[in-house]
Structure 1
Amino acid sequence: MRFTVDEYAKTFKMSKEMIQNKLRTKRLNYIIEGGVTYIIVPRSSLDEEKHRELTQTAKTSLSAPAPQKTTVGMIIALYQKENQQLKLKIKELEAKIDRLVNDKEQMLIAERERIEEIYTAKDEQLKNFFEVINTKLLLSHENKVHDVDISATPITAAPQPSSGGVIELKRYLKFIGMGSDERKAVKRRFELAYGSDVRVIQKEGEFYVDLSRYDYTDFLS
């Protein structure tokens, strides 16, 4: 029988490079017809090679373990194992959910307590403010200068002139919580308005406000 190089490689499971090497070293019989190389193989050699291949295949089949037969018991055991794994995962998820719920509750409690503290502090500030207004800023018909106790907790909202008295400007601005730059700006407005605005009171080089008679909102804004 004769084979082309491709047929020989496929039949005898040999690389083309190895076949070409054998052809160059004259270890294979071949002929060339029409530019095509044919390898000559005696039928007896072919039968012997096929016999060897079949023998090797039979040995491989005998050595391979027989497939295990699936039984009902095996299927039940598999389902039981998977069921146990699912139960464990469910317990883990439930524990995680419980932790998340507890963490959320703790966060809400902490936030509520923080808000309550803020409102309590604000209420205390308002209480202190009105106590100061009612006790320290007394109406003075004689325009007597009163000192204001600024030790009370200041708030940022400017009080409206409800109880009155003449108060030193810088003390008043500190009392209502104005910063240094804001106080300078207000004092500058008083300086510009002095002499032309009856609300601007000056004594011994210091400016004063009369909350019982005038509204100074435009100076503070």
Structure 2
Amino acid sequence: MRHTAALHARRSQRGLTLIEICIALLIVAVLFSAVVSGVGAVTGTKAKASAAELAGVIRSLYDTAALSGKTCRLVFEIAGPKSEERTRYHAECAESGVTTSRDRDTAIRDENQARDDERRQGRDSRHNFNQSNSGGAPSLQDLMDQEQHRVEQSAKFASYTGEEVAARELPGSVSVSVWTRQQKTAVDQGVAYLYFFPQGYTEKAQVYVRQGDNVWTLVVSPLTGKVNVVAEELEVPRS
């Protein structure tokens, strides 16, 4: 009887030891994951990779605008510091070459307001336009509206995707801010644009990619579209 009890005790101890080993391994795995994540934040590996990828996208969109004869732009949807969303960017091109506003700060503010209004109210202008022309011969006013609509559509930007230019979402630990020559300060929240023109030039711009205390600055050359990636935060040029 004593022998059975002792054997049972040894088996219980052995089982408990295995459980403890499993728990210890689990703790080690969690700590290792935390260390790897911490090292990534310290070295800024995700920001560095995002900066390199973004530099390639900028160069590709520069070439696209120059070869297609269309004005294109890189649209940044920058998540705020307290937002749970991630920063995204995608490309858009107009049907033809269009100019941009010189007061980019005002244009960005108006664009953000327009996007908010669009989300709240929705847009049904195309539907109403089609309904007004559904029956009978078009009147002079209808023809004028059609021409205005055509002009507006030619200057309207639509999403563009290519092999090297696709919509992307940055890692949650990476943030972005964008400065162009048309702005006084870099945009770090909301929408920001970088334009590319069919004549073969773009805007003088600096894009900042951050992760923790690490910052990479993408310096965009307006005449060549070349992007120089600098491993520090450069000051916004004084124009």
Give TM-score scaled by structure 1 length.
Answer: 0.27
Name the structure with the higher strand share: 2
Which structure: larger Rg?
1
Bigger RCO (CA 8 Å, 6+ sep):
2
Name the structure with the higher helix share: 1
